[in-house]
Every structure is written in structure tokens, then in C-alpha cells.
């Protein structure tokens, strides 16, 4: 390609034109710990990335290249490339502000507390460990504010403190610790998932051993 490159100027050259298949990947990743699982309300974010599978020969497109999406001749999204794998052009991940997620607590059923003891640093003291397993029910509401139907994947990852019991609807795939839900939401509609979880709640209190508690003598 021959061109003039003048001093202190920018030049724009045509590189290629090509058709491509477009795939919009939306993903929600959720996980709780023993504290967050009992919050009344939580908000999650949907990450979105655009994957273009180009027709023809692969092209080396540098990462962070500017990418503008047009619909009906008008630009509607400005983003940049995050990587190229063969003919696949992958955009950076963005937070999709048009999908709203509310995660509300529905019910908490406290389990029976079991008390065990651990040694403390001071020989006159011990640590009282109170462990209980609570059953927690949470409802996740996903609202699609876009003018088109969307597909998204919700990935619930269980942790050492919060484990999956059941859900409505059932997960599409289970690969422990991941429970994946593939959801289709029509435009301006809501989709709901109810999760039933078990949380291990542990409380530790350092106490003086009973044999070292001095009884108060009456005056």
C-alpha cells in the first residue's frame, strides 16, 4: 500500500471490508459470602461483550483498537477490541446499563446452633465456636430495558460458606461449583430466579473458662 505520510498529520486508509456473524454475550457472575447472603438487597451488574466472527482470511487487529457499532446508519456503541483469536474479533467487556438486576432476600430460616470449643492463647480462656446452617431464599429479578430480546447467562458460583440447595427454575448446566442459568428475556420484560441456599454462619467468642471465674462474695 503506497501513501503520503505528511508531517504532523493523521491519515486514514481503507484496510478491509468483510461480512461477519455477530454474537452478543451477556453474563452475570454471582457469589455470596456468609455476610452478603443475608443482605436485604443486592445489585449485580451484567457484563456484555460483542464477538464478531469475520468471513475470509483472519486479520491481525491490535488489542484496544477502536470499534464503533452502528445500527440503521447511526452509531450506538463505542468500545474497543480486547483480543483476536483467528477470525474471532472480541470486544472489551462493558457493564450493560440496560439490564437491571435486583437480588432480594425472601426468607431466612435459622438452623440449630452447635457449640464447640477451641483453645485460646490465654490458658485461662477458650473460644466458644457457635456454628449454624441457615436456609436462605433469595429472588433475583432481571429486567430487560432494551428494545430487543436478549440471551444472557447467569453463573452462580457457590463458596465454602454459601452452598446451592435448589432453585426455580433449575440450572441449565451444573459444573460444581458453578450453576449456570441460560435465560432469554423479551424486550421490556422481567425474568425471575429463586435461589435456595445454605449458609454456614460461624460466630467465635473468647470466654474465661468456668473454673477460672471467681465467685463474688456477698458483702
Q: Which residues make up the interface to other proteins (CB under 8 A)?
A: 1-24, 50, 52, 54, 57, 59-62, 65-71, 73, 81, 89, 148
Q: Based on CB atoms, which residue is closest to other proteins, 68 or 116?
A: 68
Rounded to a whole number of angstroms, the minimum distance from the CB of residue 78 to other proteins is 11
Q: How far is the CB of 158 from other proteins (least distance, A)?
A: 34
Least CB distance to other proteins at residue 20 (A) = 5
- Minimum Å gap between C-beta 155 and other proteins is 23
Of 147 and 215, the one with the shorter C-beta distance to other proteins is: 147
**Minimum gap (Å) between residue 187 Cβ and other proteins:** 12
Q: Which is nearer to other proteins, 15 or 119 (CB)?
A: 15
The set of cell numbers assigned to 214 is: 471467681
Name which of 62 and 210 has its Cβ closer to other proteins. 62
**Distance between CA 80 and CA 13 in Å, rounded?**
19
Residue 57's closest CA among 91, 35, 32, 84?
A: 84
Backbone angles phi, psi at 78, to 5 degrees: -110, 125
Secondary structure (H, E, C), 43-84:
ECCCEEEEEEEECCCCCCCCCCCEEEEEECCEEEEEEEEEEE
3-state secondary structure of 210: helix
Specify burial of residue 136 (Cβ count, 10 A radius: 0-12, 13-18, 19+).
buried
Question: Between residues 32 and 50, which has the closer beta carbon with respect to other proteins?
Answer: 50
Amino acid at each position: 500500500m503506497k501513501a503520503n505520510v505528511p508531517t504532523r498529520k493523521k491519515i486514514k486508509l481503507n484496510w478491509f471490508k468483510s461480512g461477519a456473524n455477530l454474537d452478543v454475550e451477556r453474563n452475570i457472575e454471582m457469589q455470596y459470602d456468609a455476610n452478603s447472603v443475608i443482605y436485604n438487597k443486592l445489585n449485580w451488574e451484567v457484563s456484555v461483550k460483542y464477538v464478531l466472527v469475520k468471513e475470509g482470511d483472519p486479520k491481525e487487529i491490535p488489542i484496544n483498537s477502536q470499534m464503533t457499532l452502528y445500527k440503521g446508519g447511526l452509531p450506538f456503541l463505542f468500545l474497543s477490541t480486547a483480543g483476536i483469536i483467528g477470525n474471532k474479533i472480541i470486544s472489551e467487556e462493558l457493564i450493560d446499563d440496560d439490564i437491571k438486576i435486583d437480588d432480594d432476600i425472601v426468607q431466612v430460616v435459622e438452623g440449630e446452633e452447635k457449640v464447640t470449643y477451641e483453645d485460646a492463647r490465654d490458658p485461662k480462656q477458650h473460644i466458644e465456636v457457635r456454628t449454624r446452617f441457615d436456609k436462605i431464599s433469595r429472588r433475583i429479578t432481571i429486567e430487560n430495558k432494551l428494545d430487543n430480546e436478549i440471551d444472557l447467562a447467569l453463573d452462580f458460583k457457590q463458596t465454602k460458606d454459601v452452598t446451592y440447595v435448589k432453585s426455580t427454575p433449575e440450572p441449565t448446566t451444573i459444573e460444581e461449583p458453578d450453576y449456570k442459568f441460560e435465560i432469554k428475556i423479551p424486550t421490556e420484560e422481567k425474568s425471575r430466579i429463586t435461589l435456595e441456599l445454605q449458609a454456614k454462619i460461624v460466630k467465635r467468642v473468647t470466654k474465661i473458662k468456668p473454673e477460672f471465674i471467681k465467685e463474688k462474695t456477698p458483702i
